[in-house]
Amino acid sequence: MATIRYTNVGIRAMSACVPQGVFHNKDLGYLIPEEEIQKTIDNIGVRERRIADPEVCASDLAYKAAMKLILDNNIDPASIDVLLFMSQTADYRIPATAPLLQERLGLSIDTLAMDLSLGCSGFIFALSTAFAYASLPDVNRVLLLDGETFSKIVNRNDKVDWPLYGDAATATLVEKGDFGESVFILRSDGTGRDAVIIRDGMRNPITADSLIEKKNENGDIHSGLEVYMDGMDVFNFAMKRVPKTIKEMSEVTGIPLESIDWLVFHQANRFMTDFFVKKLKFNQERVPYCIDRYGNTSSTSVPLTIVSELHDKVKDGDKVMMAGFGAGLSWGVSLVTMQDCKISHVIEY
C-alpha cells in the first residue's frame, strides 16, 4: 500500500500566479438559462475564474510563480538541484516542459528537470516526488512547479465543465530541514479511467472526426480533443474514497483530526467539499476555499488555495492536511508540518 513517510524535508516557500483575465459565471446566459445561473453558481461555488490569453501557456504562469518565489526568498538559481513540472496541459507533447523552464529560469544544466502528469490529485503525488528527491544525500533543494491551463482543453459550450475550470500555476520549494515527519497516502483505480478523459490522441488516433464538436446525451458539447467529465462518476468516487482516506491518515499518524490546523481540499466544487467537511465533522473555519474566485484549477488548486487563503495565517508548527482527487482515477492525502515557510501573495500575469 502506498503510504510513504519522509523525515527532515519540508516546504520552505510557496507562490502562485493567475491570469489577469476574469470570467464571471453570471455572464453564461448563452450556455445556461438565465433563471438557472445563480443556482449553478451556488451549487459549484464558482463566482468567477481566471482564464489565460490564447498565447499564454501553463509554463508562462509557472515561470512567473517561480520567479516570485526566487526573488521573495533570495534563492540562488544555482542552488536548485531538481525541477519538477506537474501539468496536464504542458506546452508541447514533445519536448517536456521542465527543461524549457530550467533554461528560462537560468538554472544550471546540472539540474534534474522532469515533467509529471496526473489529474486533479497531481500536486499531492508531485509533492511526494519532490520530498523523495529532497531526501537523497546529494539533493538539497527541489523546485516543484504546477501549472494548468484547462481553458485550452475545455469546450466553451460544455455546460458541465466550462463554468467550473480556471487557469493557474504555483511554485513550491522543498528543502531539507527540521520539519519532522511527513506522511503521504497515494492511491489509484484505473477502472474509472473514462470518468475524466480526452479520448483522442494516442489510443484513439487523431482524425478529422476528432475536431468535430458533438453533443452527448446530457446535451454537453465537446470534441475528441477536449476534456470530457462524467460529473456523477467523479462525485460518487470522491464521496467513497476521500473522507475514508483522510480518516486513514489520522489513524496511521496517530494524530486526531481535531488536531489538524488546516484541511485543504482540491477545489472540485463547493457542494462536494462541504459534504466532506460535514461527513468528517471537521471545523469549517479551518477549511480554506478559493474556488469562488479561481474555479477548479485542477492539479494547482491545493497549493493555490494555500497561497491565496493561508499566506498570512499559517504558523510554525501548523499541521496541514491536503487532499487531491480526480482523473485516473487517482487520489492522495498528505500531512505535513509547516516550519519557517514563506508564502507569497498571489500575482497576476
Evaluate whether 153 touches 35 at the Cβ level (below 8 Å): no
Residues 86-114: tens digit of each pLDDT: 999 999 999 999 999 999 999 999 999 99
Residues 242-295: tens digit of each pLDDT: 999 999 999 999 999 999 999 999 999 998 999 999 999 999 999 999 999 999
| pLDDT score recorded for residue 235 | 86
Q: Which of 134-148, 192-206, 219-233 has the highest mean pLDDT?
A: 134-148
Q: What is the full DSSP assignment across 69-125? A: HHHHTT--GGG--EEEEE-SS-S-SSS-SHHHHHHHTT--TTSEEEEE--STTHHHH
Residues 38-91: tens digit of each pLDDT: 999 998 999 999 999 999 999 999 999 999 999 999 999 999 999 999 999 999
Residues 141-184: tens digit of each pLDDT: 999 999 999 999 999 998 889 999 999 999 999 999 999 899 99
What single-letter amino acid sits at 111?
A: T
CA 48 to chain centre: 18
In the chain, the largest separation of any two C-alpha atoms, in whole Å, equals 60
Cis before residue 288, ω within 30 degrees of 0?
no
User: How far apart are alpha carbons 274 and 41 in whole angstroms?
Assistant: 15
Average pLDDT of span 232-244: 91
User: How far apart are alpha carbons 213 and 31 in whole angstroms?
Assistant: 15
* For residue 129, pLDDT beyond 90: yes
Evaluate whether 59 touches 67 at the Cβ level (below 8 Å): no
* For residue 219, pLDDT beyond 80: no
Q: How confident is the model at residue 348 (pLDDT cuts 50, 70, 90)?
A: very high
Q: Does 119 or 96 have the greater pLDDT score?
A: 96
Residues 282-330: tens digit of each pLDDT: 999 999 999 999 999 999 999 999 999 999 999 999 999 999 999 999 9
What is the set of active-site residues?
Answer: 120, 266, 296
Q: How confident is the model at residue 231 (pLDDT cuts 50, 70, 90)?
A: confident
The residues, any chain, with a CB within 8 Å of residue 117's CB and separated by 6 or more, are: 86, 87, 88, 90
| pLDDT score recorded for residue 224 | 84
List domains and CATH numbers for the chain. 1-349 (3.40.47.10)
| pLDDT score recorded for residue 221 | 85
User: How far apart are alpha carbons 57 and 230 in whole angstroms?
Assistant: 26
* For residue 216, pLDDT beyond 80: no
- β-bridge mates for residue 65, sequence order: none
- β-bridge mates for residue 214, sequence order: 222
Q: How confident is the model at residue 340 (pLDDT cuts 50, 70, 90)?
A: very high
Q: How confident is the model at residue 214 (pLDDT cuts 50, 70, 90)?
A: confident
Grid cell listed for 22: 476574469
| pLDDT score recorded for residue 196 | 87
Q: How confident is the model at residue 1 (pLDDT cuts 50, 70, 90)?
A: low
Q: Does 218 or 310 have the greater pLDDT score?
A: 310
Average pLDDT of span 216-228: 81
